[in-house]
Structures are given as C-alpha cells and as structure tokens.
Amino acid sequence: MWIEIVLVIVGVALIVAGANFMTDGASAIAKRLHIPQIIIGLTIVAFGTSAPELVVSVIGSIEGSGGIAVGNVIGSNIFNVLCVLGACALVHPVPVKLNTLRFDLPIALVASILLMLVLSDMPLDGMPSLVSRSEALTLLLFGLLFLLYTIVVGKQGDDDSETEEEERNMHWLLAVVYLVGGLAGLVYGGQLFVGNATKIASSLGVSETLIGLTLVAWGTSFPELATSVVAAMKGNTDIAVGNVIGSNLFNIFFVLGIAGTVRPLSNLQFTSLDIWMQLLAMVIALGVALFWGKREIKRAEGGGMLLVFILYNVWIIFNAVG
C-alpha cells in the first residue's frame, strides 16, 4: 500500500504543476489574442485553480468511481470553508467585504442547497445514490448563468489597460509548450491519483466515497491551503473569502456538472451528515462573518471552524473503520 500512497502524492504533484503550467500558457495565448483580462480571470485562471478537483472528478467518473468524483467535490468544499478560512483566520483575521456578504455568500449558500437536493435525489431523477446526466446538466446551466452574471458585473469595474510588454511576456512556442505539457501533467497525474486512491480504499476496506471525502479532497485542496496561509502570513487575507467562494461554486456547478455529464455518477455511499455538512459549512461561514465577527473572521472563530472540520473528519473515519 505504501507504493500506492507514494504514487498518490506524485499524482497530486503532477496535477498541481500541470495546472500551473497550463494556466500560464493559456493566459499568455489569450493575451496575444487580445482577450479581455476579466474573461481570462473568470475562465482560464478559475479553471486553473480548480483544475485538480476537475481532473480527479472527471477521471473518477470515466473510470466508474462515482464515490471519488462526488466525494472530492463535497470534501473539497468543506475543506475550503472550514480548514482554509479557519487556518487563515488563525494566522490573521480575515475581513469580509460588504459585497461578499450581500451577494457572494448567499449565492454560495444557494449552490450548497442545490447540491444537497441533487445528492438527496429529491428533485430531478427520483433515483437513490445517483447524480444523473440531467442533474449534471442542470448544474452546468446554473454555472454558466453565474459565470455570465459575473462577467457582466466584472466588466463594469474592469480596467483592461495592458502594456505591450505584458501582452508579449511569453513567446508563442513556449506558451504552447506550457499549455500542452500542463495538460499532459493534469491527465497523467489525475490517472495516477484516482487509480491508486481506489487501490488504497480497497486495501483499507473502506468505500471510495470516504477516500473521496478525505484523502482525495485534502490532496486536491492542499495547494489552496498553502497559498492562502502564506498570503495570510503576509497580511494579504482580503481575497481569501472570495477565492474560497469562487472555488466552491466552480466545484458544484462545473466540476460535478462536467463529471456527471461525462457519465452518471452512481453507487454513492454518503451519510446524511456528509450531505448536510457541506451546507452547514457555508452557514457557519455566513453566520461568523455576519453576526459574530461583524464582517471579519477573527482568530477565535477561525479556531472554531478548524475544530468543526477536525471533529467531522474524525467522526466519519472512525465510523468507517470502527
């Protein structure tokens, strides 16, 4: 099993490196094609930051590992809210912008409710433990509508001035090499990750869903944790909430939407706690920012969020192996 663990780590490294290279190459090509910065930021960069979750979930879907695909989305969203924001707040209090409280957090809360409905199979297909293609396409539709809204709003305050030097900071050939090489790293790393994570689940006698909620979700979200904590240590915490919300929305609408469209996700072994926890995490974040912290997540609240994250994961692991 140790070989599989090493290969999982190698897979994560390839996914993260591939995402960075692919994003840099795609952004350079987009700039040379004079695509506006706001479009680049909301599409290429957004995809790059969520590429690990997307690649792992899509490959899990293709290989019939629905538990890993969906568990990755739920686990990553819980990790982002409770662990990333909690850790950042412990290092430095995290301010929450008024616009985030009025629009972004409520939208993320609605998205979490929609995900809960899809996973509970109440509204669309009536079949237990299944994310059908129709549900996945519905999520994609909501995602495209949200992306369109964000682009329209973003353009109103976008300063699209770019210098010639910025536009030509990477040669065409190098940009293509970055793009192709990054994509290759994403695909191969994703295959390594999913294949060996499935083997670990079999060796431990636990479900793929549990592996998705824990090992896979932590692995794909760890780069965001590291980046956010380093930024917090430098006092740059003002964008932490926006990054977490954006990542969670992308995970729900696009990661799960694309994975379920490629192949319906079945045999999902979730408990009610798992489904409710991703919603509860958003409620905690909104409550802390709005009521307790008064537009700021302080160290005490951050510590509380981390404690909830630890207790939840200890509970699901002990329930699975006990």
Return the pLDDT at 273: 84
What values do phi and psi take at 150, rounded to 5? -65, -40
Domain ranges of the chain: 2-159+169-321
pLDDT of residue 313: 92
List CB contacts of 160: < 8 A, sequence separation 6 or more. 36, 37, 38
The pLDDT tens digits of the residues spanning 245-303 come to 888 899 999 999 999 999 988 877 777 788 889 899 988 888 887 766 567 888 898 99
Question: Which regions of the chain does DSSP assign to beta strands (E)?
Answer: 94-95, 130-131, 265-266, 296-297
**Tens-digit pLDDT profile for the chain (322 aa)?**
788 889 988 988 888 888 788 878 887 887 787 776 656 655 666 677 778 888 888 988 998 888 888 999 999 999 999 999 999 899 888 888 777 777 878 888 899 999 888 887 644 444 446 788 999 999 999 999 888 887 777 666 555 444 444 445 678 889 889 888 988 888 888 888 878 887 887 788 888 888 889 888 888 887 778 777 877 887 776 667 777 888 889 999 999 999 999 998 887 777 778 888 989 998 888 888 776 656 788 889 899 999 999 999 999 988 877 6
CATH class of segment(s) 2-159+169-321: mainly alpha
Read off φ and ψ for residue 152, nearest 5 degrees: -65, -45
Contact (CB, 8 A) for 40 and 30: yes
The encoded tokens of residue 62 equal: 């293709």
pLDDT value for 199: 85
Q: What is the pLDDT of residue 140?
A: 94
Instruction: Supply the DSSP string of 227-296, one letter for each residue.
Output: HHHHHHHTT--TTHHHHHHHHHHHIIIIIHHHHHHHS-EE-----HHHHHHHHHHHHHHHHIIIIISSSE
Structure tokens belonging to residue 318 = 């002990």
Residues 7/197, Cβ–Cβ less than 8 Å: no
